[in-house]
């Protein structure tokens, strides 16, 4: 049976919230373990962001820790080419400042 649009959107929103909490922890903005426990200012900020912008620093961190592009694609629910794109843009950005 095909999932309804509401179910798909609910799943996307849940993933967004989980990744926003992970990013807040990674950036030492909060030690919250759920979306509801994040400070309202952090939730407001993250709500203004796209999913890909939230996960990009996490993808870079996990890749530096040795996770493969395929592992990252599965973990973050993105295509391998999207993950590779995030990583190559980061490399190009870093090389500009080297």
> Would you say residue 55 lies in a domain?
no
Distance CA 39, CA 55 (A): 19
Same structural domain for residues 1 and 27? Answer: yes
> Would you say residue 14 lies in a domain?
yes
**What confidence tens digit (pLDDT) does each residue in 40-83 have?**
999 999 999 999 999 999 999 999 999 999 999 999 999 999 99
If DSSP codes are grouped into helix, strand and coil, which group holds residue 31? coil
Closest CA to 85 of 54, 60, 50: 60
How many folded domains does the chain comprise?
2
Same structural domain for residues 43 and 68? Answer: no
pTM of the entire structure? Answer: 0.83
Hey, how many other C-beta atoms are within 10 angstroms of the C-beta on 37? 13
Residues belonging to the chain: 98
Same structural domain for residues 6 and 41? Answer: yes
Class of residue 59 by CB neighbours under 10 A (exposed 0-12, middle 13-18, buried 19+):
buried
Range of the domain at 92: 63-98
């Amino acid at each position: 049976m095909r999932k309804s649009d509401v179910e798909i959107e609910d799943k996307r929103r849940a993933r967004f919230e989980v990744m926003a909490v992970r990013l807040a922890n990674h950036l030492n903005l909060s030690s919250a373990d759920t979306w509801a426990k994040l400070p309202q200012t952090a939730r407001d900020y993250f709500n203004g962001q796209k999913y890909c912008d939230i996960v990009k620093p996490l993808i870079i961190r996990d890749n530096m820790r040795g996770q493969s592009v395929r592992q990252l694609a599965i973990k973050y629910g993105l295509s391998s080419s999207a993950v590779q794109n995030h990583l190559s843009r980061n490399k190009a950005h870093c090389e500009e400042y080297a």
